[in-house]
Structure 1
């Protein structure tokens, strides 16, 4: 008895990878310089030529081999193998500065620029008055 396995559906793999990357067909189409209908046809294709697969892989930010060998089970295993503390520590971002200090700093910088602008205008008026008096 033959144990031939069903070949992987490359278009379906492309679709799942695109979805996992939170990308719409329109965004992938734009990245590839084509339209949404072409992406739909591509995702419904069981096989894709290597040149087109390389182009899709580049637009998705993966390798062609990654698309060919994509397995949802592997993705789920990777996600479930991380405990919650690992996921939380990668997402938790602590700024190294106080945002209010930055606001105050920007306000003070704006005031200094405004004062320089006023001084430049005063200098210009003074210069023009000298020219007018000189005539």
Structure 2
């Protein structure tokens, strides 16, 4: 029997894809670039602290990533019985109001900088 590879980066990629999360989204959740996520997913090893942060962003445990196998996923779905009650609400991993307020603050900051720039330009024109 062939031993499964322990390529943590590929496992992160598979879990991310199964959760329907794009690299850009994961990068945003973690405060890093999409290129950083791509590099992590190409790495056979990932530091434990980084793996914990990635797992938290994906909504799983680090052990779930470490122990991930495609065989287990197929077994899960083959044995899954849908007992849902029609509750198809999606649960955000962030507070949408917090994101909205961040955008409002960013917009306010940009407006204040624009206003200051215009005032400065007017002062130079008066001289």
TM-score normalised by the chain length of structure 2: 0.63
CA shift in 2, pair 1:92/1:16, >3 Å = same
Residue ranges of structure 1 left out of the alignment (5+ in a row): 94-135
Residue ranges of structure 2 left out of the alignment (5+ in a row): 88-127
Secondary structure of the 2:57 match is: helix
Give me the whole-angstrom Cα distance separating, in 2, the residues matched to 1:7 and 1:51. Answer: 21
Structure 2 counterpart of 1:92: 86
Structure 2 counterpart of 1:28: 26
Structure 1 counterpart of 2:49: 51
Instruction: Give the structure with the higher percent helix.
Output: 1
User: Number of residue pairs matched?
Assistant: 87
Structure 1 counterpart of 2:108: none
CA deviations on 1:36-84 (whole Å, 9 max, x unpaired) are 00000000000011111111111111111111000111111011012xx
Structure 1 counterpart of 2:74: 76
Give me the whole-angstrom Cα distance separating, in 2, the residues matched to 1:54 and 1:62. Answer: 9
Structure 1 counterpart of 2:11: 13
Larger radius of gyration: 1
